[in-house]
Amino acid sequence: MSTKGKNYWIDNWNGKKYLLEMMQEGKINMQIIGWFGTSKDYSFDNYEQMQHFISRNRRTADRLTCYPLKRIIGTFDYLKENATEYKWTLETVEKYILEDKLQKGEVIITLSTNEKVYDTKRIEELEQQGRIYWNNTKWIERKDKGSEQMV
């Protein structure tokens, strides 16, 4: 729950703002749920609907806390772009991570050199080389000192 407390949110309801605050909250499971709701562009009419959403996703978010947040958000981004033929949930994200689907032949990032990156080991290598970095929402490719490109 947001640090502002239940009564504040009931009196001053703003579902988008609540999700954004969850993304900044100290508890990783709440951050995961906030990022998930934001990536799906969910909207909630009141505090009770938000609490139902949190309750529905808390167990899965708890199970995902052992993975780096950038890997979870990267999976959100991947599914948002590629899962257009079916609805995906936080459980889908968990399945992709557990089955390591993003490391089994599916493109995670295409660099400006047209190199297709298929696995997280290559992502880590590019990050260590300083060619890419994570800005809390997307991988950014460093082209040269003055320009950057989102990937």
* CA dist., res. 116 & res. 61, Å (int): 29
Which has more pLDDT, 2 or 139?
139
pTM equals: 0.65
Q: Per-residue confidence at 74, pLDDT binned at 50, 70, 90?
A: confident
Residue extents of the structural domains in the chain:
6-64, 69-150
* CA dist., res. 64 & res. 133, Å (int): 22
How high does pLDDT run on average in the chain? 81
Instruction: Work out the burial of residue 139: count CB atoms within 10 Å of its CB; fewer than 13 is exposed, 13-18 middle, 19 or more buried.
Output: buried
What is the share, in percent, of the chain residues with pLDDT greater than 70? Answer: 81
pLDDT tens for 91-117 read 999 888 877 655 555 566 678 888 877
Q: What is the pLDDT of residue 105?
A: 53
Taking residues 64-83, what's their average pLDDT? 87
Strand partners, 147: 144
